[in-house]
Amino acid sequence: MQRRNLGTCLAGLVLAAQAALADVNVPAVYLRQEVDLPPTLSNLDPVPGDLGEIGARLGLADNMTTGSFLGQSYALEVISIPVGGDLIASARNALEQSPFLILDAPASDQLTVADLPEAQSALLFNASSADMNLRGEDCRSNLFHTLPSYQMRSDALMQFARFKKWESLPLVAGTHPQDKAFAEALRQSAAKFGLRIEGEKSWVFDADMRRNASQEVPLFTQDFGDYDILLIADELHDFGRYIAYNTWQPRPVAGSEGLVPTAWAPVVEQWGAAQLQSRFHDLAARPMHPQDYAAWAAMRSIGEAVTRTNSDDPAVLRAFILSEKFELAGFKGRPLSFRSWNGQLRQPIPLVTPRALVAQAPLEGYLHQRNELDTLGLDEPESACEAFR
Amino acid sequence: MLRSLPLLSLLVLSEPAMAAEIWVTNEKDDTISVIDIASLEVVRTIPTGERPRGITFSKDFSRVYICASDSDTVQVMDPETGKILHDLPSGEDPEQFVLHPNDRHLYIANEDDAVTTVVDTETRSVIAQINVGIEPEGMAVSPDGKIAITTSETTNMAHWIDTETRQLFANTLVDSRPRHAEFTAGGSELWVSSEIGGTITVFDTGTQTEKGKIEFEVQGVHPDRVQPVGFEFTADEKTAFVALGPSNHVAVVNAETLEVEDYILVGRRVWHMAFSPDKSLLFTTNGVSGDVTVIDVAKREAIKSIKVGRFPWGAALRP
């Protein structure tokens, strides 16, 4: 009797599933504008050619598994535009195929894509740029952000510095736009948490530090006097690696090197993260980087919204993603969600060394009336983003 | 008066032979801590394979099965001697399992493989592998043995397995990161906890439809940190005790009204639990603080914490 009931149920469910779910197809495009990276002093850590892309592929695999039980299908195409290639034509081509784009491109190129007439009803995810203006005055209502901003990372570091009572923090910054942007974020975060950036220097050496870091860096850091921790803004990882242990004062370094606030790192293993790391490693044969995590989170956000709404309509998905019902299990110990005022994915920020997770922001004691994760990055009152209002 | 003392000590001495124990797996120590329920002390520490998590005894308690996740095996141990009798093929990364009422088939969640493996403990062979969602974890089997459940953490589903055909016959969505499943009310209800969603979903077993949802609210703890994981029912099945992970509390839930009646403060990152034989005491594993909290079930209060190994995970009663 029981057995027959099961069989009937099964048939009923399958029929219902086919009737209700047959039409949900979710293609997505990973759109990459290739860029020339300036040379760095060391070649120890080359930027993987498939950075970000494999994260999206892992998100696709996760979505497809869920979809297989619900009759929903997913696909991913990768379009890579060479340096000097036709971004607009490629973006139009991508938007013809899908309203769901994951963007791996500089901030200005992302705005170009977001402003195309064809993109107005699309759902775009920035998985590569930490630029603060993209989340502020230059925000676009069709552009979401899964990579944390520079300021989310710098706030995380300053929360930790405050907690450790490291109050005097000199800064060494590189000259690339990314270095300057992170340095500016560090300054703003220091002010936000009542800390002092005391002494700033720009890294303009053109010597090869592998040979003479031990001679140059002590002198370079001597006139900082006494301090608690040395901040380094070197987002392209050019000179920063040669500063630790060579400073005049025996003090730790943090920022782009040393203690690093980041979206993701191989040392994140709690909260089930070990499973995500091992799934990624099986697919990529290399560790998972922050951009891989951001692309994974973008694909999974689309997937989570499709699962819960049973829709492939970008307008329906956008509304759901911005609603209180949306929550993404992102292996960082708390549900992740999107900020309704600028489309940024709220997320804890791990503070890591190459060998261990040191802490994870928000740190205990940083309270917020809405969500403790909003102590990291641009909060609603200070947001200059109008497009989401 | 004095004369009665030897008799008393004789009684005390004779007790350990029949004393009940709680067996706790220590995920990051590769050991089991054995807690004597009478003295509430650790009386034995037994080495296991790597990263022991799920633990369960055979019906007659002559064998104990242990998921040694990083050794990719289920170990079968003689609980008297603590010796490993043999390993069972388990599929990759076994995390949690459930023993079928037939005392023979183990249903194992292979966390890294998106598979549920069914192992025959007598022939020591895999008899089926069933594709399920990403990161399967919670495992349950109905009291009549006809339905097995696997929950998948990233796919966010309860997968319903017909144990005769070993095929899925239903897949039901739950909130984010389902962790644990139990049948109750004579098998007519299935409860599934969702760690990140912060809820327990109650299903009607006959129709596999949702009939209720339990939400939790611990004063002074942000809702994001209230993360239900393991749970157990009292003997009359009228009350459920629910471990709430990093909120460091256990909730007491009225299983009929689905209302939370109480919250009990325990150790840090409370995970799974097991009752004493008469269900008067409840033992919770607290991963981060590395201890076990003993709860007086009638009074609904913590009465002792017992230090065990690093990251205690599973708990099982040996009466």
Instruction: State the distance between the two ends of chain A, measured CA to CA, in whole angstroms.
Output: 57
Residue A43, amino acid: N
pLDDT reading at B76 higher than 90: yes
Interface of A with B in 278-337 (CB under 8 A): 278-279, 307-308, 327-329, 333-335
Mean pLDDT lowest among A2-16, A113-127, A363-377: A2-16
Tokens linked to B240: 């459920």
In a domain? residue A5: no
Q: How far is CA B216 from the centre of its chain?
A: 20
Q: What is the pLDDT of residues A236-249, one digit of tens each?
A: 999 999 999 999 99
Rounded to whole angstroms, how far apart are CA atoms A156 and A207?
Answer: 32
The residues with which B22 forms a beta bridge, in sequence order, are: B35, B317
Q: Which residues of chain A neighbour B206 with C-beta distances below 8 Å?
A: 5
Instruction: Indicate if A41 and A76 belong to the same structural domain.
Output: yes
Instruction: Indicate if A157 and A133 belong to the same structural domain.
Output: no
Count of C-beta atoms within a 10 Å radius of residue B78: 12
Name residues whose C-beta falls within 8 Å of residue A364's C-beta, 6 or more positions apart in sequence: none
Tokens linked to B57: 């005894």
Q: Do A5 and B157 touch (CB under 8 A)?
A: no
Q: Between B5 and A266, whose confidence is greater?
A: A266
What ipTM goes with this model? 0.82
Region B4-12 average pLDDT: 45
DSSP conformational letter for A381 = G
Is B235 exposed, middle or buried, given 0-12, 13-18 or 19+ CB atoms closer than 10 A?
Answer: exposed
Instruction: Indicate if A46 and A118 belong to the same structural domain.
Output: yes
Rounded to whole angstroms, how far apart are CA atoms A102 and A85?
Answer: 18
Containing domain of residue A247, as a range? 151-261
Q: Do A329 and B162 touch (CB under 8 A)?
A: no
In a domain? residue A67: yes
What CATH number is associated with residue A246?
3.40.50.2300
Domain boundary among A234, A261, A288: A261
Domain boundary among A217, A236, A261: A261
Region B127-141 average pLDDT: 95
In a domain? residue A243: yes
Q: Which of A275, A336, A367 to mutate to test the interface with B (most CBs of B within 10 A)?
A: A275
Cis peptide before A148 (omega within 30 of 0): no
Tokens linked to B285: 């594993």
Q: Among B73, B66, B154, B87, which residue's Cα sits nearest to residue B114? A: B154
Rounded to whole angstroms, how far apart are CA atoms A294 and A102?
Answer: 10
Residue A4, chain B, CB below 8 Å: the answer is no
| Closest approach of B201 to chain A, Cα-based (Å) | 15
Q: What is the pLDDT of residues B21-58, one digit of tens each?
A: 999 999 999 999 999 999 999 999 999 999 999 999 99
Q: Which helix (H) or strand (E) holds B77?
A: strand B73-77
Q: Which of A10, A24, A309 to mutate to test the interface with B (most CBs of B within 10 A)?
A: A10
What's the number of CA atoms in the CB half-sphere (13 Å) around residue A320? 21
Is A181 in contact with A130 (CB distance < 8 Å)? yes
Residue B198, amino acid: G
- What is the percentage of chain B residues whose pLDDT exceeds 70? 94
Strands A357-361 and B249-254 turn out to be: unpaired
DSSP conformational letter for A170 = -
Per-residue confidence (pLDDT) for residue B7, from 0 to 100: 45
pLDDT reading at A161 higher than 80: yes
Tokens linked to A251: 């003090």
Instruction: Indicate if A199 and A274 belong to the same structural domain.
Output: no
Per-residue confidence (pLDDT) for residue B18, from 0 to 100: 58
Strands B167-173 and B231-233 turn out to be: unpaired
Band of pLDDT at residue A10, cut at 50, 70 and 90: very low
Residue B208, amino acid: Q
**Phi (first) and psi of residue A238, to 5 degrees:** -95, -70
Domain boundary among A207, A229, A261: A261
Mean pLDDT lowest among A150-154, A260-264, A285-289, A374-378: A374-378
pTM score of the predicted model: 0.89
In a domain? residue A30: yes
In a domain? residue A296: yes
Q: Determine the 3-state secondary structure of A22 from DSSP.
A: coil
Instruction: Indicate if A31 and A90 belong to the same structural domain.
Output: yes
What's the number of CA atoms in the CB half-sphere (13 Å) around residue B103? 7
Region A118-137 average pLDDT: 97
Closest chain A CA to residue B132: A65
Band of pLDDT at residue B228, cut at 50, 70 and 90: very high
